[in-house]
Amino acid sequence: MTAIIWFRRDLRLHDHAALHTAALTGEPIVPLFIMDDAFCQPDAVADKRSHAFLSAVDNLAGSLQEVGGRLLIRRGNPADVLCQVARETGADKVFYNRAYTPEARKRDATVTEALERQGMRVHACKDLLMHEPGDILTRQRTPYALFTPYKRVWLTLPKDRPFPQPTSWRMCEGLAEMPGESAPLAEAFGRKRPVGSEWATALFGERTARERLQQFMHEAVHRYKERRDFPGLDATSHLSFALNAGTLSIRTVYHQALEAMEEARGEEVASVEAFVTELVWREFYQQVLYHHPHTTDHAFLPQFEAVAWENDEALFSAWCNGETGYPIVDAAMKQLNETGWMHNRLRMIAASFLTKDLLVDWRWGMRYFAKQLVDFDEAANIGGWQWSASTGTDPQPYFRIFNPVAQGEKFDPDGTFVKKYLPVLSEVPLQYIHKPWEMPEHVQEQAGCRLGLDYPDPCVDHASRRKLAMSLFQEAKDSYARTQK
């Protein structure tokens, strides 16, 4: 008989739970990737995001060729495609790694039902997470709503070891190639390749991901805690895309971190621990979304579901384009639009500014990030936006509002990051780099940066908008309280 391996967010051969489990059967294997039609829509997924993910699929296809196999690539409804491929190959079982978002769970339930009606066996494996959503519960058997107690339990639990890449397996032969299977996927599906050497297809594959992991663990991880919040430094892991697309497994990353911990000394230990905490955040947000699927489009905290957002489209457009007049916010958005990635500290600053200064609904920003980010992870995106908007699981009250000037001065003190993405400010004296509106006219002339012409005036006044945001959140909270009496 034959086994189908359905690749999804696990685009690798090493440390792959479903592949490992299927290889143990000793039966011929059919590797399959199914293209989601929604992913081909440019209004929902920008070219950079689609190119990065489809490049990872291309790299998987190349890795399979190196071991004598071939990745089947199909487009259509997953249940229909899997049933059709099963008929073509005589497969009697399907292996895949579990996903946990509401849409993925709905899709997988439909697929399983269709395959079992056809007499096939379906094997869903744990791979995306170290601990699945139901693994960590309170003493009352309820999911954790706060991160710290969740993390405390997460760290105490035993962890799976990485699976070895199969060394002997049987690939199913004789399948006809479909049109477009030999071409780069982005090209085959009509998506533009971004310009620049940083978009080379090979950079998004398993080999590059593993090299990046090794480099980070031997260098930056030991100074991660002290440097990670400064976007002008290359101090983060840059592994978010690899973990999201599955060109690296969470098991491999976690155990490499443990090895780095053993080599760490003094303050280096705290840095590695800080990195592991980021891995825990990733799983925390997955379990929040799993247990609270309404958070895809509704506030986790019901008292803030009805905040009276202004939703000014002109202000939202200025935010999207990096033209708000606040340098750290604008540079962050330029980074996102130009690279498809944004530093995590900047994600918080940009999100706080949109929701608390511009009073634009967090869902608007969440959808914009979903379109642009090459490392888009639905659970992390929802969790991060709701954290910044004070509608989510974070216990801090709604009056935590980032001051964009103070954030810029603290985390980009020499203006390195701002000047990189806003070259119009490159000659602005350091004392004005995060508040250029304070420049006297003669300084503006000397710096070649005239406010309102070369760089925009601030679109809002932070101090007054902070007060307004606090009043709107308090009104929403009071209104909700009245309905509960």
As annotated, the active-site residues are 278, 281, 309, 344, 362, 385
Place of tokens 């098991």: 251
Phi–psi pair at 457, nearest 5 degrees: -65, 155
Q: Which residues define the annotated binding site?
A: 224, 236-240, 275, 278-285, 375-377
Taking only Cα atoms into account, the Rg of the chain, rounded to an integer number of angstroms, comes to 24
Nearest C-alpha neighbor of 347 from the set 225, 468, 220, 231: 231
Tokens encoding 24: 């143990």
Do the strands 170-171 and 91-97 form a parallel or antiparallel pair, or are they unpaired? unpaired
Q: What is the 3-state secondary structure (H, E, C) of 54-120?
A: HHHHHHHHHHHHHCCCCCEEEECCHHHHHHHHHHHHCEEEEEEECCCCHHHHHHHHHHHHHHHHCCC
Element spanning 32, H or E? strand 28-35
Tokens encoding 328: 């750290």
Tokens encoding 84: 């059709």
Give helix 47-66 / helix 206-218 axis angle, nearest 10°.
100
Q: Classify burial at 39, counting beta carbons within 10 Å of its beta carbon; exposed 0-12, middle 13-18, buried 19 or more.
A: middle
**DSSP per-residue letters across 209-239:** HHHHHHHHHHTGGGGHHHHTT-TTS--S---
Nearest C-alpha neighbor of 275 from the set 240, 309, 326: 240
Tokens encoding 27: 């039966």
Place of tokens 């609270």: 292
The C-alpha atoms of residue 38 and residue 33 are separated, in whole angstroms, by 15
Cβ atoms of 87 and 81 closer than 8 Å: no
What letters, b where the CB count within 10 A reaches 16 and e where it falls short, cover 219-246? ebbbebbeebbbbbbebbbbbbbbbbbb
List, as own/partner pairs, every contact residues 423-427 make where C-beta atoms lie below 8 angstroms and the sequence separation is at least 24, other chains included: 424/448, 424/449, 424/454, 424/455, 425/327, 425/449, 425/455
The C-alpha atoms of residue 384 and residue 369 are separated, in whole angstroms, by 11
Cβ atoms of 283 and 131 closer than 8 Å: yes
